[in-house]
Chain A
């Protein structure tokens, strides 16, 4: 349909449309697309941000294939994803608990949601105190109550990742709980009533009705959880100083940050960032492909 066919009124309306749409579109072009293209360009260069970029061809990409730290940080990142299923089980249980009507329920829900809106840096600093080996709240508690000498949470390589998962659970459960809560409330009670007539107990109702009907939520939580895990940075930056002992806490994004803003290898950092971006894209794509096998659609 050409503009000629449009009435004056329609044309005016269209002008307004473009006007209102312009800011975000321009914003995206300037601060989104152009930088994305620029980072592709710079990923083929050696650039310390001080002198002119030097053309390197695929050298950065070749280098990262042989860079054990890329794989170590990738391994760490994937390791942290252990927290996703644990978090799902806990937040579903929590949501079922919170899906009731009693006095003070909104207060309870708020409490569990609070970590989600707390700034991650502040939270990480608090956890740093909690997890301190000598003076930390957690180890003091373990000693006072159980007489156990707690581990060196952030100082020993084998404890860093569990500590990070623990913190991730604490701050992530509330958000997923709210999603599950919404899902639970959208399940019609007729299913449960019908099941009851057929003699189903609580366990069957949970496993045959609740969990299957929540599959769209499970799917969303997994996809977002994996993307979020791939991107985790702030808590690492605060809690795992220099990537933690033996680089055990460094994630890919932390590695990118280190190369970009500590070693000033902007080109190499861009190359790693692109590989990470493509990886996330592929993983998400696979998840969507697999989703029609198990996600329940109305």
Chain B
């Protein structure tokens, strides 16, 4: 019985917070006392009146300690630019973020500015939690929204029922092009030509051939000390092969089509048949990452946020386009994004928007962010200019931009508010990764279940 009361207790706690929260967030004595003197004349952002009431904005996000440090810096420069605004910044562990945000929203204690991503954005926007920032953005003269990746902005559009079109309800924090990284030294040692940075030139067959040469079992115990490829992205394989998880227009789950299961079988066979990849569970335990860092894995996957760690590596590495499917000649990968949203209930929407826009679009902030190796700049001119000229790895930075512009795609679940249908797939896919079932049989078996769950949760 304890379990039940625990959950109910949590709910009640929240309700009580809701009752006591009505007065929260407003400007109060404590907030104004640590506000810098608002008579600073260099207040260009105030665009109108010189003197403004001191305001406190709450901002909540998640991330690693590095990211936290960056944001603390960015916030300090925001406060300098907007002297009447004080930002209260909270960073929570990523794993707890979604629960924490939802409970805060249900209890009425929503931060003024907070991270949104994927299914959360959909759920929050639909529930009317997020402020429509279109008019604010249209009026701003401080930033040029046209200079921001369209692919990133579109993630935060909502037309009242669907994500991807309509007014903006958020601004991108970043874009995360999921790139194909390889250990140059291992390729050189084995005398294998490295993968091409140009999409479509290097196919699955080329990769497999290279991976076989790069998988080395020195002591003959059947467990290679060095693998060819690790954590191969299933999404990448499926999309490259012309397959889809789902057609969001009709709401049809499409995993049982040949383009899908052939790609899935290809990924499974990297381990099962060709033995050029460590098995899936080992990868889930981050071992593929460790292997790559240790120089025991030739090909892997990385996001821009991996750069700082990779800069420390004792070997040469670079990024390439994901291998193309020989059936289509196409390549594809995943382009992640996290965004900033403003609460629809914020008492200071203008200031909250200013903060979101500053964090998303301010030149200085974007520069600092990419120089620390956290992200590709949101600003197109900066990404194509100084970001490309950076002297740190990866050498072929163009790949990051290609992914953003040409062949990067949103995560599968980004357009569905309820994700149980995808969980059902992931929870059972080990049958294929373990070799207990063919991808064809598995997808035929799981498709009706996924369809049922999708219909139930999203229609």
Residues of A participating in the B interface, judged by any CB pair closer than 8 Å:
30-32, 34-36, 38-39, 42, 48-51, 128, 132-135, 152, 154-157, 230-231, 233, 241-243, 245-247, 253, 256, 260-264, 266, 269-270, 273-274, 276-277, 280-281
- Nearest A residue to B423, CB-CB: A242
* B12, B284, B418, B431 interface centre (most CB from chain A within 10 Å): B12
Please judge, given known A-B contacts A49-B105, A51-B127, A243-B427, whether A256 and B434 are in contact too, CB under 8 Å.
no
Asked if A256 and B9 sit within 8 Å, CB to CB, the answer is no
How far in angstroms is the closest Cβ of chain B from A63?
Answer: 9
Which has the most chain B C-beta neighbours within 10 Å: A35, A48, A134, A156?
A35
Complex CA gap A169/B455 in Å reads 42
- Grouping DSSP codes into helix (H, G, I), strand (E, B) and loop, the A interface class, with mixed when no group exceeds half, is helix
Give the nearest-CB partner of B9 in chain A.
Answer: A35
Query: What separation, in Å, do the CA atoms of A269 and B282 have in the docked complex?
Result: 32
Contact, CB under 8 Å: B426 / A242: yes
List the 3 shortest-distance A-B pairs measured between CB atoms, nearest first: A155-B281, A35-B8, A50-B127
Complex interface: chain B residues within 8 A of A49 (CB): 102-103, 105-106
Whether A260 contacts B284 by the Cβ 8 Å rule is no
Q: How far is the CB of B382 from chain A (nearest CB, A)?
A: 36
Residues A132 and B285 in contact in the complex (CB < 8 Å), given A51-B127, A243-B427: yes
Write 29 A-B pairs (CB below 8 A) sorted by A numbering. A32-B5, A35-B9, A35-B12, A36-B5, A36-B8, A38-B8, A39-B4, A39-B5, A49-B105, A50-B105, A50-B123, A51-B128, A128-B285, A134-B278, A155-B434, A157-B430, A230-B3, A233-B3, A241-B284, A245-B281, A245-B434, A246-B431, A256-B3, A263-B418, A263-B419, A269-B7, A276-B4, A277-B1, A281-B1
Nearest CB of chain A from residue B9's CB, rounded to whole Å:
5
The prevalent SS among residues of B at the interface is: helix
B428 CB–A CB distance under 8 Å: yes
B22 on the interface (CB 8 Å rule)?
no
Judge whether B287 and A134 touch: CB under 8 Å. Answer: yes
Structural contact, A35 and B2, CB atoms closer than 8 A = no
> For the complex, is B457 an interface residue (Cβ under 8 Å from A)?
yes
On whether the beta carbons of A50 and B419 are closer than 8 Å, the reply is no
Instruction: Give min CB distance, A85 to chain B, whole Å.
Output: 23
Q: Which residues of B in the span 77-112 have a Cβ within 8 Å of any Cβ on A?
A: 98-99, 102-103, 105-106
CB-contact partner of A134 in B98, B127, B282, under 8 A: B282
Q: B127 touching A270 by the CB < 8 A rule?
A: no
A247 and B427 within 8 A (CB): yes
**Nearest Cβ distance between residue A160 and chain B, in whole angstroms?**
10
Contact B428 A246, beta carbon cutoff 8 Å:
yes
The CA-CA distance from A133 to B106 in the complex, in Å, is: 42
The reply to whether A280 and B1 contact each other, CB–CB distance below 8 Å, is yes
Contact assessment for A31 and B9 in the assembled complex, using a CB-CB cutoff below 8 Å: yes
Residue B13 interfacial (CB < 8 Å): yes
A48-B127, A154-B281, A263-B418 known; A35 and B11 CB under 8 Å? Answer: yes
Residues of chain B within 8 A (CB-CB) of A32 are 5, 9
In the bound assembly, the distance between CA atoms of A34 and B284 in angstroms comes to 41
Q: Check B420 for interface membership: any CB of A closer than 8 A.
A: yes
Contact (Cβ within 8 A) A42 B11: yes
A156 cross-chain contacts in B, Cβ below 8 A: 430, 434
A280→B418 CA distance, assembly (Å): 30
Residue pair A263, B5 in contact (C-beta under 8 Å): no
Contacts of A34 in B (CB 8 A): 12
* Minimum CB distance partner of B96 in chain A: A261
Q: Tell me the chain B residues, 406-426 only, with Cβ under 8 Å from chain A.
A: 418-420, 423, 426
Tell which of B418, B419, B430 has the most Cβ of chain A within 10 Å: B430
Do B430 and A260 have beta carbons less than 8 Å apart? no
Residues of B within 8 A of A48 (CB): 123, 127
Cβ contact within 8 Å between B4 and A133: no
Bound complex: CA A231 to CA B6 (Å) = 11
Q: Is the CB of B129 closer than 8 A to any CB of chain A?
A: yes
Given A32-B5, A49-B103, A246-B430; A133-B11 close (CB under 8 Å): no
Is B124 in the interface zone, CB < 8 Å from A?
A: yes
Q: Is the CB of A30 within 8 A of B124?
A: no
> Could you say which residues of chain A place their CB within 8 Å of the CB of B128?
51
Residues from chain A with Cβ under 8 Å of B105 in the complex: 49-50
Given A31-B13, A231-B3, A263-B419, residue A50 in contact with residue B129 (CB < 8 A): yes
Contact of B281 with A133 in the complex, beta carbons under 8 Å: yes
Specify which chain B residues have a CB less than 8 angstroms from the CB of A231 in the assembled complex: 2-3
- Given known contacts A241-B284, A245-B430, A273-B3, what 19 new A-B pairs fall within 8 Å (CB)? A35-B8, A36-B5, A38-B15, A39-B5, A48-B123, A49-B103, A50-B102, A50-B106, A50-B124, A133-B279, A135-B287, A154-B281, A155-B284, A245-B427, A246-B427, A261-B102, A273-B8, A274-B4, A277-B3
Q: Which residues from B are CB-within-8-Å of A128?
A: 285
A233 to B423, CA, bound (A): 19
Residue of A nearest to B105 (CB): A50
Whole-angstrom distance between the Cβ of B8 and the nearest chain A Cβ: 3
Q: How many Å from the CB of A196 to the closest CB on chain B?
A: 45
**Residues of the B chain whose Cβ atoms lie less than 8 Å from the Cβ of A38:** 8, 11-12, 15
- CB-CB under 8 A from B106, the residues of chain A are 49-50
Q: How far is B457's CA from A152's CA once the two chains are assembled, in angstroms? A: 34
- CB contacts (< 8 Å) of B5 on chain A: these are 32, 35-36, 39
A216 vs chain B, min Cβ distance (A)? 23
Alpha-carbon separation in the docked complex, A243 to B424 (Å): 11
In the bound complex, CA of A132 to CA of B287 (Å): 10
